[in-house]
């Protein structure tokens, strides 16, 4: 730096005096100082005091500002030492780099050099601008020191000594990368050494967990060895993930396991010995032949029977049918052989036909009419195994005042007991060798006119009603409605004024005329329904008759639907990784093995020019195609399952390959065990290879998150971004994910509360769509994201076990309450979930729609995702849509799952999912949390065609149909508009169902061992009803309380609000016009 040259005129001969300069110019600044008075004061000993006064104009006045430049022995050497602001000590931990800011003030604007004058012993320090970064050496903790020198090159040197305290950190364990492994089908087990290190902990205490995405190999950890045993007759690729948990911290590595196929001989599964009762039905046994290398349809089956006198055996298709010959018993050895591609395999089993004591048969007794005399009615009882002379008979009369009976020597003797006409129902029962059979008939006494007149004069008439007995009805479940007409009769003293019928089940609808009950069993219903007929006469006398309609589920039908659940994309994917990106042939299997049966599977394709019914894939050179494959499972009885498959256009172009991979690379793909972008607790899965030879590299902008997805604990929430660079050939593009790493909780109370908030419904659902649609196993985690332990309690372990297994009831849907106990140290909290497990056999109504295509369209404001379908009747195209505000694009994903398109949106810590199904229906779910960490899942289910769901910038979701609209706000509240009527649900966790008949708004909650449900239903005429329903979780009993009588409704232009009153009780508030038509209960 050049100091002011004007001082060079002063010499050492000057002993005393003052030099005044009218104008001083300093080359040390970027301009000139004007209107100053500069003074050099000379003192004895050659010391000089330099200062100047600066004239400054403030408020139209000129003032002098004094500047002291210091003491100097040489006038040319004056200098002002820089002022340094920097902390003299700071804290960090052994795994955290520390940025320390400093500031420099130099009145002369000298350039100040910064240098490390003393390096730390236990760390590395570097300087960047006005910061320096200190990085502790690996695994050191304790004190460290450094010195920093600030020098302005004119003698102004300032040295700062800094003390550093490095606190210890329990580091994450480290798993050495595992190389890819290859084995041959049916080969011996392969052992892979797992190398784990942790400088802070004993790795012998580590827990290991292994997961695989393809069940072709059995994985087992033994000490630190991973044993890979190929499963029989399997081949393909599996990604295996190894997790090591040590001191509540987890390290994860994954590797590719390839199992090469071999040409196997066919395998015929053994058939277990069969014990069958005499005269039983035909036994059908599925022949389980497998050959991974051959077409099973070419197999030839034969059967031999060592004792054809007791049973006939034959093979039909792939089923062995053994039919016992009536009244025969004994044993036989039955051998089944299968020949395939020149190889013959066989299996044999013992067939034991056990003798039984058949029940006797009592021939039907026709209705009988008598003019008043006694009658003898012969009874025809037969029993092939017993002497009918030993039979005991009993006789019951429904009206002993008309007639009674007794049996002697196989004849029923009927005697009239009164002197009046009338009818009675006789029940005749015969018991033989502990078997009882019965017959019921009507016996009518018709007196002559003279007798009737005499009786009328002598008898005082009272009220009497007699309803004929109605037998219980046994049916099998059907995929179609079943209609029945049941005759009945009523005898009464006075005329009957009303007859009503009731069913205690929604699945059985009843109505009646004067002498007939019409019963409609809805498709898919199973279980028992109690039917009650109530007759009332003009005198007010009431009589009722009850009977049951029992609908059983055929086990074969249960197996059929179980097979449907087992048929996934993994089953048919062939060499493809993702159903959103299929480029090679699919493995469209022709049969499924379930419940010991071989169930046939046939396929149809919405476009056989792209995917044939044999799974052949043809890639178009110009256009991407989304195709619907439909699997028809079963023959006489069948169910269907759909898959949406995307086939990209021919990827001769590097740019097209990269852009297709960008669409597939979603947060859903990389999140691994995390749920939300703003809540990263666990390591991320960051793939390095895409499809079509696209390479992916990752960069993290945070020291706490590595580019391989590893995370390090932090004491505060840290926003970070991960940028993926996708490249093939000369073309590349990037995609950035903005995420938040959650802070590690310290106290036990913080841990349990944070894990309660983290343990959401979404976290436990696994592959299930929502809490009302549970079909497969749940993800009941043993540990929370912050290290708490979680214990699960189920209200019915026969439906949902405490490990998350789901067992669907054959007859009815089941409501289950799951309770999670979250513990850490001495602290614990609880959280409850209400789930509905659907019954095993589902009947889906055919909407008459065929899948056509899926399209995306974007402008500056909206992204529109549409699913187009074609009506089978008139080829008309309709669509279901999701309209997404463009501002939400970076926090949303579109994923094709099974037969639907799923759109997820994250906002303000919440997550919404919207589903567009290939049958034209749609659904929405939105999960919210209250201040106590309780989860609420709000849902909209739409089963009408042509819906439109709009997601606005503020996160509000509005579903619109021609029946009305329903909106969910970010706090989980619902508003439904139908006609001029409006329903508001001010409690998070409700459900709106929109179907062809009505819009229903429902809120339900657990109260003890019961579910309390409030419901508002508005039909197509915009007329509404309200009700409360109580469901007992233990007994399954349902009680319904309607607000209005049966024929009374709330007219359009009414407002309903479901909320809580001041006593925290559930209520429905109704605002409507009062009319005389309203009949309140």
Cβ count near 635 (within 10 Å): 11
Closest CA to 596 of 633, 637, 559: 559
Name the strand (E) or helix (H) holding 61: strand 61-72
**Is 90 exceeded by the pLDDT of residue 892?**
no
Q: Model confidence at 18, in pLDDT bands (50, 70, 90)?
A: very low
**Is 70 exceeded by the pLDDT of residue 41?**
no
* Assigned token pair, 165: 């305290």
**Is 60 exceeded by the pLDDT of residue 30?**
no
Q: Model confidence at 1049, in pLDDT bands (50, 70, 90)?
A: confident
Cβ count near 688 (within 10 Å): 11
Q: Parallel, antiparallel, or unpaired: how do β-strands 375-378 and 381-382 relate? A: unpaired
Closest CA to 33 of 25, 41, 44, 21: 25
> What pLDDT does 13 receive?
34
Kindly report, residue by residue over 207-226, the tens digit of the pLDDT: 888 989 888 999 998 888 99
Q: Are 624 and 589 in contact (CB under 8 A)?
A: no
Kindly report, residue by residue over 226-248, the tens digit of the pLDDT: 999 999 878 889 999 998 888 87
Beta bridge partners, 358, equal: none
d(CA 100, CA 194): 40
Name the strand (E) or helix (H) holding 195: none
> What pLDDT does 536 receive?
85
Q: What is the 3-state secondary structure (H, E, C) of 204-252?
A: HHCEEEEEECCCCEEEEEECCEEEEEECCCCCEEEEEEEEEEECCEEEE
Euclidean distance between the first and final Cα of the chain, in Å?
A: 99
Kindly report, residue by residue over 823-855, the tens digit of the pLDDT: 988 899 999 999 999 888 776 667 778 888 888
Tokens 């006694």: give the residue: 374
Q: SS3 helix, strand, coil % of the chain, rounded to 5?
A: 10, 50, 40
457: three-class secondary structure by DSSP: helix
Q: Are 439 and 404 in contact (CB under 8 A)?
A: no
**Is 90 exceeded by the pLDDT of residue 304?**
yes
d(CA 423, CA 443): 6
CATH class of the region 83-167: mainly beta
Q: Are 677 and 906 in contact (CB under 8 A)?
A: yes
Spell out the alpha helix ranges (H) of 531-639.
Answer: 555-566, 569-572
**Residue 993: alpha-carbon gap to chain centroid:** 18
From its phi and psi, is residue 889 left (phi > 0), alpha (psi between -120 and 50) or beta?
Answer: alpha
Kindly report, residue by residue over 730-755, the tens digit of the pLDDT: 899 999 999 999 988 778 898 899 89
Q: Are 373 and 416 in contact (CB under 8 A)?
A: yes
d(CA 159, CA 167): 26
CATH topology for 358-456 is Immunoglobulin-like (2.60.40)
1056: three-class secondary structure by DSSP: strand
DSSP class of residue 887 equals: G
Burial grade of 263 (CB within 10 A; 0-12, 13-18, 19 or more): exposed
Query: pTM above 0.85?
Result: no
Q: What is the 3-state secondary structure (H, E, C) of 96-156?
A: CCEEEECEEECCCCCCCEEEEEECCCCEEEEEECCEEEEEECCCCCEEEEEEEEEECCCCC
d(CA 91, CA 885): 45
d(CA 611, CA 572): 13
Beta bridge partners, 423, equal: 444
83-167 and 358-456 have identical folds: yes
H helix and E strand count, the chain: 7, 79
Kindly report, residue by residue over 71-124, the tens digit of the pLDDT: 444 544 567 888 988 988 888 888 777 888 888 888 878 888 888 888 898 898
Kindly report, residue by residue over 647-688, the tens digit of the pLDDT: 988 756 788 889 888 988 999 889 988 888 988 988 999 999
d(CA 979, CA 116): 77
563: three-class secondary structure by DSSP: helix
| Mean pLDDT value across residues 52-74 | 55
> What pLDDT does 485 receive?
92
Beta bridge partners, 831, equal: 820
Q: Which residue has the higher pLDDT, 14 or 752?
A: 752
Closest CA to 785 of 713, 864, 889, 887: 713
Q: Find the angle CA(815)-CA(816)-CA(820) to the nearest 5 degrees.
A: 150
DSSP class of residue 402 equals: T
Kindly report, residue by residue over 778-799, the tens digit of the pLDDT: 999 888 888 889 999 998 898 9
* Assigned token pair, 381: 């009882």
Instruction: Average the pLDDT over each of 184-198, 968-982, 1032-1046 and give the range with the smallest value.
Output: 1032-1046
> What pLDDT does 458 receive?
47
d(CA 717, CA 215): 37
Cβ count near 678 (within 10 Å): 19
DSSP class of residue 851 equals: E
| Mean pLDDT value across residues 257-263 | 85
Greatest mean pLDDT range, 1-5, 130-134, 172-176, 630-634: 630-634
d(CA 386, CA 549): 33
Q: Which residue has the higher pLDDT, 542 or 305?
A: 305
Average pLDDT, the chain: 83
d(CA 42, CA 15): 7
Q: What is the 3-state secondary structure (H, E, C) of 323-349?
A: EECCCCCEEEEEEEEEEECCEEEEEEE
Please report, to the nearest 10 degrees, the dihedral formed by the alpha carbons of residues 391, 395, 396, 399 taken in order: 170
d(CA 951, CA 968): 10
Cβ count near 556 (within 10 Å): 16
Tokens 């799974």: give the residue: 615
Kindly report the CATH number that applies to the domain delimited by 174-260.
Answer: 2.60.40.10
Per CATH, the homologous superfamily of domain 267-354 is: Immunoglobulins (2.60.40.10)
Domain boundaries, the chain: 5-77, 83-167, 174-260, 267-354, 358-456, 461-552, 555-647, 654-741, 748-837, 844-941, 973-1081
Burial grade of 516 (CB within 10 A; 0-12, 13-18, 19 or more): exposed
Q: Model confidence at 608, in pLDDT bands (50, 70, 90)?
A: very high
* Residue length of the chain: 1081
Greatest mean pLDDT range, 580-584, 633-637, 826-830: 826-830
Closest CA to 141 of 99, 174, 95: 95
CATH topology for 461-552 is Immunoglobulin-like (2.60.40)
DSSP class of residue 531 equals: E
d(CA 637, CA 477): 11
Sign of CA dihedral 104, 108, 113, 116: negative
Cα-flanking dihedrals φ and ψ of residue 663, to 5°?
-70, -35
Name the strand (E) or helix (H) holding 182: strand 181-184
Kindly report, residue by residue over 901-933, the tens digit of the pLDDT: 889 988 776 788 999 988 888 999 888 888 788
* Assigned token pair, 543: 């009589």
**281: Cβ–Cβ under 8 A, 6 or more apart, which residues?**
none
DSSP class of residue 810 equals: S
Instruction: Average the pLDDT over each of 517-526, 695-704, 962-971 and give the range with the smallest value.
Output: 517-526
């Amino acid at each position: 730096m050049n100091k002011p040259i004007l001082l060079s005129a002063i010499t050492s001969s000057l002993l005393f005096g003052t030099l005044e300069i009218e104008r001083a110019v300093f080359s040390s600044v970027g301009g000139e100082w004007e209107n100053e008075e500069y003074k050099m004061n000379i003192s004895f000993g050659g010391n000089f005091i330099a200062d100047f006064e600066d004239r400054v104009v403030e408020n139209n006045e000129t003032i002098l500002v004094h500047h002291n430049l210091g003491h100097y022995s040489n006038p040319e050497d004056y200098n002002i030492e820089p002022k340094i602001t920097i902390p003299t000590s700071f804290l960090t931990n052994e795994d955290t780099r520390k940025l320390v800011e400093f500031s420099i003030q130099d009145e002369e604007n000298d350039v100040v050099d910064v240098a490390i004058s003393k390096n730390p012993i236990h760390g590395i320090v570097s300087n960047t601008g006005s910061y320096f970064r200190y990085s502790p050496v690996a695994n050191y903790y304790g004190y460290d020191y450094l010195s920093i020198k600030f020098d302005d090159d004119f003698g102004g040197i300032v040295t700062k000594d800094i003390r550093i305290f490095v606190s210890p950190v329990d580091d994450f364990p480290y798993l050495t990368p595992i190389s890819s492994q290859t084995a041959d089908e049916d080969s011996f087990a392969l052992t892979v050494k797992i190398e784990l290190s942790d400088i802070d902990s004993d790795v012998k205490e580590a827990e290991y967990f292994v997961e695989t995405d393809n069940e072709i190999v059995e994985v087992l950890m033994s000490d630190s060895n991973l044993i890979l045993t190929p499963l029989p007759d399997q081949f393909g690729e599996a990604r295996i993930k190894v997790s090591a948990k040590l001191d509540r911290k987890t390290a994860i590595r994954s590797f590719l396991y390839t199992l090469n196929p071999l040409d196997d001989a066919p395998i015929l599964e053994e058939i277990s010995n069969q014990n069958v009762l005499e005269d039983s039905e035909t036994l059908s046994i599925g022949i389980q032949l497998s050959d991974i290398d051959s077409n099973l349809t070419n197999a030839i089956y034969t059967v031999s029977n060592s004792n054809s006198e007791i049973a006939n055996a034959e093979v039909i298709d792939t089923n062995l049918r053994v039919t016992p010959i009536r009244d025969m018993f004994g044993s036989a050895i039955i051998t089944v052989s299968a020949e395939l591609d020149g190889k013959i395999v066989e299996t044999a089993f013992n067939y034991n036909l056990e003798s039984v004591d058949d029940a006797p048969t009592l021939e039907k007794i026709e209705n009988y009419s008598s003019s008043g005399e006694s009658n003898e009615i012969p009874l025809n009882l037969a029993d092939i195994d017993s002497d009918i002379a030993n039979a005991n008979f009993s006789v019951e009369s429904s009206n002993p005042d008309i007639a009674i009976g007794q049996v002697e020597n196989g004849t029923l003797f009927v005697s009239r007991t009164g002197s009046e006409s009338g009818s009675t129902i006789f029940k005749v029962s015969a018991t033989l060798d502990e078997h009882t059979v019965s017959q019921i008939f009507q016996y009518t006494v018709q007196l002559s006119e003279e007798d009737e007149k005499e009786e009328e004069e002598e008898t005082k008439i009272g009220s009497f009603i007699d309803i004929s007995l109605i037998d219980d009805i046994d049916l099998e479940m059907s995929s179609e409605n079943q209609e029945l007409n049941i005759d009945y009769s009523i005898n009464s003293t006075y005329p009957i004024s009303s007859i009503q019928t009731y069913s205690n089940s929604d699945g059985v609808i009843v109505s009646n005329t004067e002498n007939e009950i019409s019963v409609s069993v809805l498709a898919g219903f199973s279980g028992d329904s109690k039917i009650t007929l109530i007759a009332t006469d003009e005198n007010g006398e009431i009589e009722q008759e009850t009977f049951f309609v029992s609908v059983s589920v055929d086990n074969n039908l249960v197996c059929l639907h179980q097979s449907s659940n087992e048929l996934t994309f993994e089953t048919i994917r062939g060499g493809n990784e993702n159903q959103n990106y299929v480029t090679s042939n699919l493995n469209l299997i022709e049969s499924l093995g379930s419940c010991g049966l071989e169930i046939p599977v046939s396929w149809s394709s919405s476009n056989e020019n792209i995917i044939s019914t044999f799974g052949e894939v043809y890639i178009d050179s110009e256009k991407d195609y989304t195709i619907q494959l439909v699997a028809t499972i079963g023959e006489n009885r069948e169910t269907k399952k759909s898959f949406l498959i995307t086939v990209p256009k021919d990827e001769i172009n590097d740019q097209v390959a990269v852009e297709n991979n960008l669409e597939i690379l979603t947060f859903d793909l990389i999140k691994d065990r995390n749920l939300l972008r703003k809540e990263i607790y666990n390591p991320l899965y960051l793939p390095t290879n895409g499809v079509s030879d696209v390479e992916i590299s990752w960069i993290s902008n945070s020291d706490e998150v590595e580019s391989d997805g590893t995370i390090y604990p932090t004491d505060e929430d840290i926003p970070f971004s991960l940028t993926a660079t996708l490249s093939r050939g000369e073309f590349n593009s990037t995609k950035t994910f903005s995420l938040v790493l959650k802070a590690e909780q310290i106290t036990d109370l913080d841990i349990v509360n944070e894990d309660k908030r983290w343990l959401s419904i979404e976290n436990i659902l696994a592959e299930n769509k929502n809490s009302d649609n549970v079909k497969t196993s749940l993800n009941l985690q043993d540990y929370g994201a912050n290290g708490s332990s979680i214990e699960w309690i189920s209200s019915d372990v026969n439906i949902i076990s405490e490990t998350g297994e789901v067992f669907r009831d054959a007859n009815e849907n089941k409501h289950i309450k799951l309770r999670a106990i979250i513990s850490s140290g001495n602290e614990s909290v609880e959280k409850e979930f209400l789930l509905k497990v659907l019954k095993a056999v589902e009947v889906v109504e055919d909407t008459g729609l065929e899948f056509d295509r899926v399209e995306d369209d974007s402008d500056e404001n909206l992204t529109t995702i549409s699913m187009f379908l074609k009506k089978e009747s008139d080829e008309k195209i309709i669509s279901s849509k999701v309209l997404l505000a463009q501002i939400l694009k970076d926090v949303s994903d579109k994923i094709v799952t099974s037969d639907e398109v799923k759109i997820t949106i994250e906002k303000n810590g919440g997550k919404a999912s919207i589903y567009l199904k290939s049958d034209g229906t749609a659904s929405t779910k939105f999960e919210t949390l209250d201040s106590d960490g309780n989860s609420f899942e709000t849902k909209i289910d739409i089963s009408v065609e042509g819906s439109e769901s709009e997601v606005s910038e503020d996160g509000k979701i509005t579903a619109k149909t021609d029946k009305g609209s329903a909106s969910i706000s970010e706090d989980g509240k619902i508003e439904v508009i139908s006609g001029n009527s409006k329903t508001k649900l001010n409690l998070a966790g409700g459900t709106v169902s929109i179907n062809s008949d009505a819009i229903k708004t429902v809120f339900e909650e657990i109260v003890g061992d019961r579910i309390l449900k409030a419901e508002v239903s508005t039909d197509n005429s915009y007329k509404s009803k309200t009700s409360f329903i109580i469901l007992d979780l233990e007994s399954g009993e349902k009680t319904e309380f309607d607000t209005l009588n049966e024929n009374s409704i709330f007219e359009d232009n009414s407002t309903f609000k479901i909320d809580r009153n001041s006593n925290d009780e559930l209520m429905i508030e109704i605002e409507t016009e009062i009319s005389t038509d309203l009949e309140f209960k």
